[in-house]
Structure 1
Amino acid sequence: MREQFEEEKFELKNKLLNQASAITELEMERDNLSRALQSAEACLKVGEKSGQDLTEEYTALKNSYLALADAHDKEQNQGEKLSAELLALAQAQDALRLQLEEQQQSVETSTRGLHCELDRVRALISSMSHNRVKLLGNQDEIKEMLEKMKNSYEEQQKKLEEKVVEMGKEHQEDEKRAIRNRQQELSERSAALMCSQSQVKEEEEENSKLQLQVKELNEEYRLRLVWYLQDLSEYIDGLGEGKSPPEASKLRAHVDSMLQDVRSSYRAREEQLASAARSYKKRLQKITQTHHALLIAYRVQREQILAQPESGLDPGPPEAPFSLEPSELREETERELQQRRQDEAQLQVSLKKDRALLITRVSVAEAQVSELQDYIDNHLGRYREEISHLCRLHGIQEAGRSQSANTTLH
């Protein structure tokens, strides 16, 4: 009996030691997995910090882009003002031309009046010759008066011709000077416009590069999130014992926060794409308006140069090759809108896939957590009962051994 008791006691001690070693192994595995989860959270925080740095850099570039856009708008407004000034100068030129024509008409009327007076005098002389009035003194006076009138007429006509020539020269010089000034100003504005457009293109390229980087980082974060969820599912699958309900609720809150971060990031991406499409559309409208204003100014200047062939200035090619066709603008806008729609559709499809994957993984994780919680509760209760039963058996055997020892002594 004693040997059997000793054997049973030894087996029970071995069972207790095995159970204690299994419990310690499970606790060590749980600690290792918690440390791995903490390291994964640290990596995720580092990635989020790098994403925040990229977003700050993107906002700085966006602010610089907005400043360049404002400068571009100012240049466009100045170009419009110059075109308005050019139109005003054209109107002033037309007014001066009308004044010159009026002066020429007045000179012609005055010359006609003098010719009429001369004809009248000649008719008077002829009538006097026909009447054969012989008045010698009167004839001398008439001859002197005719000579005086003739000389005064010639002097007035010379003065008028000289004045007309001087006014024509001054008008031509003013027109040439104004055209040169307008050409110089338009060339300066066009150079500034080209510089601003090149800067806008550079900013757009940098913006597109940053958008690509943000897209790659989003994909990387999405892959990391999937890996973290897989690790969590593996951790929950391999977890045997020692899992308490507060830890399960904490895990659920962590998964919910990650899903919320993913949803907010994709929502911000959609808003970013929509704002970019609106800004591109506004910029295209402003560029077309500036182009039309420059075409109008070029047309007016070319008409002025063609109206004065004696100026010797080159009017330049016609405006037809520089005009934008409505079909080109329509195709450009449709192409951009189609690209935006395709990007939005792809983003929505990827969001739906990620959402479905995350929902399934979360549901599976919840089910596994509930099953593991039930398993842990059941097995913990059974282990506790076995341990208490073994402790009771061990106490009874110790008491029996002490009683037998006392009896042998007595």
Structure 2
Amino acid sequence: IQLQDKNERLFTKVGYLESRLGYLANSNTDLSGRLVQSEEDKLKISKELVEEKLQTNKIRGKFEEETFQLKNQLEMERDKLLRELHAAEARLRAGEESGKDLTEVHAALKKNYLALSEAHHKELAQSEELSAELLALAQAQDALRRQLGEQQQSVKTATQGLHGELDRVRTLISRMSHNRVKGNQDKIKDMLEEMKKSYEEQQKKLEEKRVAMGKEQQENKRAIRNSQHKLSEQSVALMLSHSQVKEVEEENSQLQLQVKELTEEYRARLVCYLQDLAKMRAFIDSMLQDVRSSHRVREEQLASAARSYKKRLQKITKTHHALFIAYIQRERIMLKPESGLDPGPPESHFSLGPAELRDETEKELQQLSEDKESWSDVRKQLKQITDSTLEKERALLITRAAAAEAQVSELQDYINKQLCYEKEISHFCSLHGKQEAGRSS
């Protein structure tokens, strides 16, 4: 009875183990399919990841090139605006200096004008004084002429009277010569001699007066001529001063107009330059904001893509771990062929062929060679750019190229690792196929 109970227990255990082995075989087939599918997904994801990394590197390179070009353009525009601003400031300083010079010239001309006006007023006063003196001299000359005429008339009358008296005396003497005695003749002769002496003295005095009056008249004429000559010279100087004053006023008005025009022109230019500078600053700020916003958006996109790839890699690692466990269980089942469980299709059924692997590797190597060619083109462009730029930009570009090469080397290492994983999987599949062939034989 105990043996029957043991046998029944053993049969129940055997049935349970058989059902468990069937379930494990079915689960093993499902796990092998899932393993293959997960490997295919892993390969696809790795390819997509490589492609995305390459694309991100290309986009990053393009973005860096665009940012570098934009920075160069901005620096060129900034340098151009700074040069224009310096030129405008220099022109403004030159205009201010010319304005200062013009103001100094204006002040000097104004001083000259004031000095000329004062000299003109002085000359006018002197001319008035000279005209008054000339009038006084003319009046004195007229008076002297009148006096000379009166004196000449008086001399003429006196000489006529004297001649008349002489004639009268002579007649008297002739008359009396016959009547009077000789004693009276001596008295008359004395009287006549006295009268002659007085007449001669009067004649001398009159001659002296006439000579003195002639000298005074000549001196007055000379003074009048000198005053007329001075008046003519002063009138000529006055005319010249008037013409000079008019010329100075015209030059002053022209200089004032030039100063006003120059100040208006420089103000307009300065306003235009300030407006252009404000517009350029606003444009540069907007461009920088756009570049920063695009850079931030791209960083967010890359960060989100990196997070999604990280999540997918975590999922793939989990599935790979589960499939690895299932693969170990399958190996254990295959090591116990007496269990009669189905280990699933052979590994060669899921492994990739060498042609497919070669095609994949050739594609990846071609992509890498294209990337290398693109990077060589980029290096050539960078060399051409760095030949004309500063050493700082050259060093920056070299560091960027080195970082890109490091990224390419990382991608190559990643691809090599993926190829090694594929080779190991194909090797395991080939071993599994050989074991199944040995069992079937």
Q: What TM-score comes out, normalization by structure 2 length?
A: 0.45
- Structure whose CA Rg is larger: 2
Q: What TM-score comes out, normalization by structure 1 length?
A: 0.47
- Structure showing greater relative contact order (alpha-carbon pairs closer than 8 Å, 6 or more residues apart): 2
